[in-house]
A and B are shown apart, each in its own frame.
Chain A
Amino acid sequence: MNNLRLIIHREYLARVRNKTFIVMTFLSPLILVGMFSLVAYLSMLNNSETHTIAVKDDSGLFQGQFENKDEIDFVDVSAVSLEDAKLLVKEKEYYGVLYIPDTQDNVELAKSIRFFGKEAPSIGILRHIERTVSENLTTRELISRGMDISQIKAAEAKVDIRIENFEGKRTSKMSNYVKMIFGGAAGYLLMMFIIIYGNMVMRSVIEEKTNRIIEIIISSVKPIQLMLGKIIGTSLAGITQFSIWVILGTVLLFITSSLTGMNLMEGQPQMQDIEQVSNGEMQQLIIDITNLPILTLIVSFLVYFIGGYFLYSAIYAAIGAAVDSETDTQQFMFPIILPLMLGIYVGFFSVIENPHGTVSTIFSMIPLTSPIVMLMRIPFGVPWYELAISVIILFVSNAGIVWLAAKIYRVGILMYGKKPTYKELYKWIKY
Chain B
Amino acid sequence: MDNLLVAENICKKFGNFTALNNVSINIPRESIFGLLGPNGAGKTTFIRIINQITMPDSGVVHLDGKPLQPNDVAHIGYLPEERGLYKSMKVGEQALYLARLKGLTKAEAKEQLDYWFTKLDIKHWWDKKIQELSKGMAQKVQFVITVLHRPKLLIFDEPFSGFDPVNADLIKNEILQLRNEGATILFSTHRMESVEELCDYMALIHESNKLLDGKVDDIKRQYKTNTFEVGMNPFNENELLSELNGNFKIGKAQFKSLSDDLKLSIQIKPNESPNDLLQYLITKSRVNHFVEVVPSVNDIFIKTVTTNE
Contacts and interface: CB of A to CB of B under 8 A. Distances in A.
Interface residues of B, number: 27
A216 B89 contact: no
Given A3-B101, A427-B15, A431-B14, A219 B78 contact: yes
Contacts of B70: 222
Contacts of B83: 212-213, 215-216
Contacts of B51: 219
A222 B97 CA distance: 16
A211 B53 contact: no
Contacts of A219: 51-53, 73, 76, 78, 80
A211 B129 CA distance: 14
Interface in A211-262: 211-213, 215-222
Contacts of B86: 14, 207-208, 211, 213
Nearest to B55: A431
Interface string B53-79: 100000000000000001001001011
B98 A416 contact: no
A221 B53 contact: no
B206 interface: no
Contact of A14 (B14, B79, B89): B89
Nearest to B73: A220
Interface size class of A (residues with CB under 8 A): 20 to 34
A421 B102 CA distance: 35
B54 to A, nearest CB: 8
A396 interface: no
A345 to B, nearest CB: 39
Nearest to A220: B101
B40 interface: no
A362 interface: no
A416 B82 contact: yes
Contacts of B191: none
Contacts of A10: 97
A6 interface: yes
Interface of B: 14-15, 48, 51-53, 70, 73, 76, 78-80, 82-89, 97-98, 100-102, 142, 145
10 contacts: A211-B87, A212-B80, A215-B80, A215-B83, A216-B78, A216-B79, A216-B80, A216-B98, A220-B101, A416-B82
Please name the 5 residue pairs, one residue from A and one from B, whose CB atoms are nearest each other, closest first.
A212-B84, A215-B80, A220-B101, A211-B84, A219-B78
